[in-house]
Structure 1
Amino acid sequence: MSETRTRIADILSRDEIRALTERSDWRGGWAVASTWGVLALTFAALAWAQAHLPLWAFALALPLGLAVIAGRQLCLAILQHDAAHGTLFKSKWGNDVLADWLCARPVWNELHKYRPYHLVHHAKTSSAQDPDLSLVAGFPATRVSLARKLARDLFGVTGLKFVLGRVLMDAGVLKWTVANDVQRLPQEGRRWWDYPLCFLGNAAGMLLTNGLLLAALWACGEAWLYGIWALAYVTPFPLFIRIRSMAEHACLEPSRDTLRNTRTTRAGWLARAFVAPIRVNYHIEHHLMASVPYFRLPQLHTLLRQRGLVAEPPSYWQVLALVSGR
């Protein structure tokens, strides 16, 4: 593994660093509010379609609704990610509490667990100690192999395994992770009732926020829409996570240098809607300086391009071709 690492102080002046790391409460608030706003509009559109369209037309509209909801579920996860770095809001309360309850808990995550886990990923990117290494292991693969993986994601196999893993993690059977590697925890001395009690204690935030979502939909006379939220979570959501993960770190050299172990990807409106919300496609920039909030990452990318440090990024289609090129 290469031992050289690009130093941000060699690239940017102090004034540039100060300007790039300036955070904004209103932009953080808008990111959270607009994400839930899109979810609300999508729920409303599906309710209208179910009531007014013939069954065949509703069946055609449903996959689009699932994809939009799953894209916003990924957006909530990315907002939690930004809060874990302390960049979503200026205030500690905004990053630690507001983002936890409005972004992390609804998609079955917890900020206080995710933050230390994710900071190890930044410190040990692409090394054997990287906790996210399993997300991009085995690439490049063949086209047939990648197609099988994407099909398992799309048809719920990956999502159901993910839900089972979450249950076992919250029950204290498996070590907590957001990656694919499974590590069992010691179970000596535990009694049968320890498992449900442990699960309820760890999953309380998810159960509460999802219960409130169900209650809100029920109050609107559309409780069935919670089933669409859950279905999106186990079908398109894992697919979008896989594509995003591959774009960020798959098929790159094991190096300590961010410019070589991380990838920035070009994202059009379609990619931003489903796999690259909140500027997460600017991943070299994020790893190079994680203190930069999402809305300033394009500015950092422009500076790096001007200084000849990064090339024009590939598209998501080009990344998919690369990771299936064995």
Structure 2
Amino acid sequence: MLKWLTINSRPDVAAARQQARAEAMLAGLGVQRAEDIAIVATELSTNILKYAGTGQILAQAMPQPEGMSLALIASDDGPGIENLDQMRQDRVSGGDSAGIGIGAIERLSDAAEVLTGPTGTIWACSFDSPDVARPHDLDIAGLRLSHPNEQVCGDAWGTVTHRGGVRFVLADGMGHGAAAATAGQAMVDGAIRRPLHTPKQRLAQLTDELARTRGGVISVLDLQPDTQRVTYGNLGNISGFYLRHGQQKRLVSRDGFIGSPTARPMEELLDLEPGDVFVLHSDGLRTIGPDIALATAPQSALMIAAILLSDPEKHRRDDISVAVARWTPTG
């Protein structure tokens, strides 16, 4: 799903269930896991009807450094869920749903988080394929929305295991529609195909390799927990920042685009500290100030992405993407 599905009636609950099941199958999670995901989608959308009256849901595949995950996001502007702990008990459901309650959402998900209060509720649930691995305690997630008039998204993101860490990429194909989607995916595929080259080297190569395509803009982060270093490369207006010690620090971007003969990618070396959160987003999302960014800092990568993507006041009429990486070492 590259668009939010609005939930305001019982037929919408059925649509959410069907679309979540279909996305799970496309992500390769298998029939049984797809049925689990369909149950969770049913509970989430039913809860929207009961507690808020209207809201939205999104199911989307997420590449991991190894394997694939599915994200299931539910958001509403209702008054929140009262007695959340009580609602976690099985057989307590919000109405005509699967009848197994919020407890099933958390049990059937590989990870499930909820933020609820008087201004609304957001659920962020994820489901993993059997081969998923998250090396170096790196938590990585990303979400996308297509331009309102398009069925495909010109933004793309990806990640791959890499020398001593993980490469993490977000790209925005120029314009929108099918040609932009092809360009965006080509940039991501190219950036993760040769992770032994530094971000700057790889982006310089891509400007030549993709010279005859539509091209676009891109940022690359090589996260290396073993040496506690980050190598950041950029070309164009992908926005980036990281959160550390209660501060938001911006990542620099350089004018230009992949495919331009005059493009000169930039590169920057940074330290990596436990608890660091890195956020990349396309220009379809308006600038994220420190008040919003720092409020998300305690959350998982997926919940941070869900919070930033679920606020329509932050949207421009464009493709939208946000990708988040968080390092929380457990050793």
Same-fold call, TM > 0.5? no
TM-score by length of 2: 0.24
Q: Write 1 or 2 for the structure with the bigger share of strand.
A: 2
TM-score by length of 1: 0.24
Q: Write 1 or 2 for the structure with the bigger share of helix.
A: 1
